[in-house]
Amino acid sequence: MTTLLNHSKLTLVHVMSAARRRLIGHHVEAVLVRGDNGAFLVDVEDMSVGWRLARDGEYGAAELQRVLSVITEQATVLMVGTHVGTLAVPASKHCRNLIAIEANPRTFQLLQENLLLNECHNVRALNIAANDKNEEIQFVLSRTNSGGSKRMPMIPAYAYFYDSPKIVPVEAHPLDEVLGDSPIDIVLMDIEGSEYFALGGMQRILSRASVLFMEFIPHHLRNVSGVSVDQLLGRIRQHFSTMFVPSQEITVSRDRFGEVLQAMYDHEQSDEGIVFKK
């Protein structure tokens, strides 16, 4: 979810998720959805990506089209925060290689199974959290919206804990170290507030990448990572010259990155995939 919902709405979604679990049965780990871009096993309790796949047959169509518009057959794509693969699977069909990073251990199992289901032989999947140093972090495994799983927030807002998530330790590493000199052309990042930490550990990757797609959510900056817009841009600005904000349909140059994102932050405006280019 890209915005903080009020308590009553969150509670209602959780009740629906629990009812779905009771109806399907406690021995069912996942359900199979055949969508427009492949077959996907999704968590039974997931009322976000899983529910939309089941209802609409697709998820993130607009974002996928923006990604496909810059991918070439020779490109290597790095996807940080892959979830169950709804973007990774179709994207992998249009590039040479795709590296999939997913920190949630339960979601990572589903991702691996979905890569097999869809015969994605050019994908390397890693079950780690992207970070600016090597360490073990506490990770919140959201149930009702598994895509909202995240590192332990600095401020424990109700919206991150309303569904009684399990908290587990997860290995976190700088991707510059993990991937070494692997050539990366395009980076996609959707990691629920960990962007600042991940970006700090992939400066070498960003220096070579031509495009960065990144989710921007003000309450994640404020509550999860505890950094300012300027601190976030301090790990991006030097690598890219233009920024496209799909939700506002504007493209700005480097000197206006801070102005535009700060205004969005001040007005609690989110975007699922801001695009930075060289």
CATH of the domain at 192: 3.40.50.150
Mean pLDDT across 239-265: 98
Give dist(CA 85, CA 77) in Å, integer. 13
Q: What is the mean predicted confidence (pLDDT) over 58-62?
A: 90
What DSSP line would sit under 99-141, residue for residue?
EEE---HHHHHHHHHHHHHTT-TTEEEE--EE-SS-EEEEEEE
Region 1-20: mean pLDDT is 52
Total number of domains in the chain = 1
The answer to whether residue 11 is domain-embedded is: no
Q: How confident is the model at residue 20 (pLDDT cuts 50, 70, 90)?
A: low
What pLDDT score does 25 carry?
A: 60
Q: Is residue 51 part of a domain?
A: no
pLDDT confidence tier of residue 1, bands split at 50, 70 and 90: very low
**pLDDT value at residue 186:** 98
Domain annotation covers residue 118: yes
- What whole-number distance in Å separates Cα of residue 150 and Cα of residue 45? 17
> Considering the domain boundaries, does residue 6 fall inside one?
no
Query: Is residue 52 in some structural domain?
Result: no
The whole-angstrom separation of Cα 118 and Cα 112 is: 10
Q: Read off the pLDDT band of 28 (50, 70, 90).
A: confident
Q: For residue range 117-134, what is the model confidence (pLDDT) as tens digits?
A: 999 999 999 999 999 999
Tell me, yes or no, whether 17 lies in a domain: no
Domain range for 96 = 60-277
Q: Residue 21's pLDDT is what?
A: 55
Residue 180 one-letter amino acid: G
Tell me if 36 is assigned to some domain: no
In a domain, 230, yes or no: yes
Query: Tens of pLDDT along 178-229?
Result: 999 989 999 999 999 999 999 999 999 999 999 999 999 999 999 999 999 9
Average pLDDT over residues 8-34: 64
Burial of 34 per CB tally in 10 Å (0-12, 13-18, 19+): exposed
C-alpha separations of 64 from 12, 14, 71, 87, 188 in Å: 30, 28, 10, 6, 11
Question: Where residue 9 falls among pLDDT bands split at 50, 70, 90?
Answer: low
